[in-house]
Amino acid sequence: MVSINKKMAKGAAWMVTLKIVERSLGLISTVILARLLIPNDFGLIAMAMSIFAIIELMSAFGFDTALIQNQDARRTHYDTAWTLNVLFGLFSALVLASLAAPAAGFYNEPRLINIIYLLAIGAFIQGFENIGTVFFRKEMEFNKEFKFIISKKIIAFCVTVPLAIILKSYWALVIGMLAFRVSGVFFSYAFHPYRPKFSLAEWRQLFNFSKWLLITNLLNFLRIRSANFTIGRFSGANALGLYSIAQEISELPTTEMVMLINRGIFPGYAKLSKDINDLRDGFLNVISVIYLIALPAGAGVAATAELFVPVLLGNKWLDTIPLIQILAFYGVTISVQINSPLVYYALNKPKISTYIAALYIMVLLPLLIWLTSIASAIGAAWAYLITALVFLPINYSILFIHLQLVSTDFIAKIWRPVFASIFMYLVVNYYTQSTQYLITHIGYAVQMMLAILLGIITYIVILLGLWILSHKPDGAEKIVLHKFIPIIKSKFKISKS
């Protein structure tokens, strides 16, 4: 159990590093593209991706999750999973192509037709990606997973940004997405020696587990992409473009970071699932780290949005500021919940996650349609935040039952990051609002850097102070310090020598 927890911690560290590098590339790309393109371009791509995501879900059976969960999976399981991915890739491409014209009619955007055709080609190509890369996660070889994912991102970046400079058109985004999928297939075979063969020998066993993941993925799609349909339908491409950029910026340090941590944690959960006590301890360690990272990051984004939007994106994106602030709090609220389904998958109870996701959608969709029709993108953002807040206690109550977890043990792990994050937000927000008159004198960029520095110092001081006053209990603080102190000491010794 100890060795597995160490591997989980190491995996989380690799995934955090990956997400930092990946999102640094993403942030640089977004800033450059926001300067070169207009909100209408991003809205057009968001419309196309909403259609693409629907079809992609039809092949999103989560076979990789099933292979990781099944500790006794044989070669025939991997070959079957790869064959099914190829078949579903072909199916997705054909359906996408047939939906191009109806989608253009739904959004009243004829430009969507050719965009969706190119996305269909990408869906077909992606189906051939080497299933052998699943071994990276299953065997917890996260350094290899890091190289695989970041290589695809670098290729996409190197294609998209130069094309945006040259074309100054949404086509740079479309071609960049196609490059990402093509490079994914190439690197999957370059980085892993496994060579799959066509087989359908284990399709029944794979479907038995993965059917619940498909339904859950469909429901998660509705949760994530419904705003694209409602905003695009009610308010058009420009409003959707503003929302898309606000969503990407606000989720950089929270939801996406946690999703990648989860990618590295699930194999450990699967190995710990034979003992509920071990699984509970593993979950508490992981969730405490998630709170430690996600809460201050999201609160910081919300508190500094008025400063970094003019600096990074430019004045034509000022309307994203209130959207970023609302969605930042949504990102925090949802990021501390999305680890829960992995526990159910590890326990081979995926249907629980499906039921919760279904109930979530039943609350979200009516609220989303109503608020979007009233207040456009702002209304959509509020609908997401309200629903996430409603389900926070519901989600944890169900999870605690299955983990036999006492709420006081959970609170003991997370109360310090919660308190420190709230205090940090209040301090930075007060600083930002009370020094607005200085902006004309020292500039947004300097003010932004001072606000970020103030937030970091405030959070660290309050967090460590509470931890020391609590007599240094086990938790995220100890996990992080045990990882970083040896690194700092080694660097100090090197510098002294």
pLDDT tens for the 497 residues of the chain, in order: 445 455 555 555 555 555 556 666 666 777 777 777 778 888 888 888 877 776 666 555 566 766 766 667 778 888 888 888 888 888 888 988 898 899 888 888 888 899 999 989 998 998 899 888 887 777 767 677 778 888 888 898 899 889 888 888 889 888 998 999 999 999 989 988 889 888 888 777 776 666 666 677 777 777 777 888 889 888 888 888 889 889 888 877 666 667 666 666 777 787 787 889 988 988 998 888 889 988 999 999 999 998 888 888 888 888 999 999 999 999 999 989 988 888 888 888 888 988 898 899 999 999 999 999 999 999 999 999 999 999 999 999 999 999 999 999 999 999 999 999 999 999 999 988 887 655 554 577 888 889 999 999 999 999 999 999 988 887 777 777 766 555 444 544 444 43
Q: Indicate the residue type of 407.
A: S
Q: What is the dihedral of CA 490, 482, 456, 388, to 10 degrees?
A: 140
Q: What is the structure's pLDDT at 405?
A: 93
Q: What is the structure's pLDDT at 482?
A: 66
- Give me the half-sphere count of Cα atoms (radius 13 Å) on the Cβ side of residue 25: 18
Domain of 79 in residue numbering reads as 2-496
Q: What is the structure's pLDDT at 437?
A: 55
> What does the radius of gyration of the chain's CA atoms come to, in whole angstroms?
23
Tell me the two tokens of residue 198.
Answer: 């066509």
Tell me the two tokens of residue 348.
Answer: 């081979």
Tell me the two tokens of residue 69.
Answer: 């969960």
Q: Please give, one letter per residue, the 3-state secondary structure of 433-490.
A: HHCHHHHHHHHHHHHHHHHHHHHHHHHHHHHHHHHHHCCCCCCHHHHHHHHHHHHHHH
Q: What is the structure's pLDDT at 240?
A: 87
Q: What is the structure's pLDDT at 468?
A: 92
Residue in 316, 194, 339 with CA at minimum distance from that of residue 263: 339
Buried b / exposed e over 25-34, threshold 16 CB at 10 Å, is bbeebbbebb
Please give the full DSSP string across 182-219, using - where no structure is assigned.
HHHHHHHHHH---------TTHHHHHHHHHHHHHHHHH
- Beta carbons of 136 and 144 less than 8 angstroms apart: yes
pTM above threshold 0.75: no
Please state, as a whole number, how many other Cβ atoms lie within 10 Å of the Cβ of residue 393: 9
Please give the full DSSP string across 102-138, using - where no structure is assigned.
HHHHHHT-TTHHHHHHHHHHHHHHHTT--GGGHHHHH
Number of domains in the chain: 1
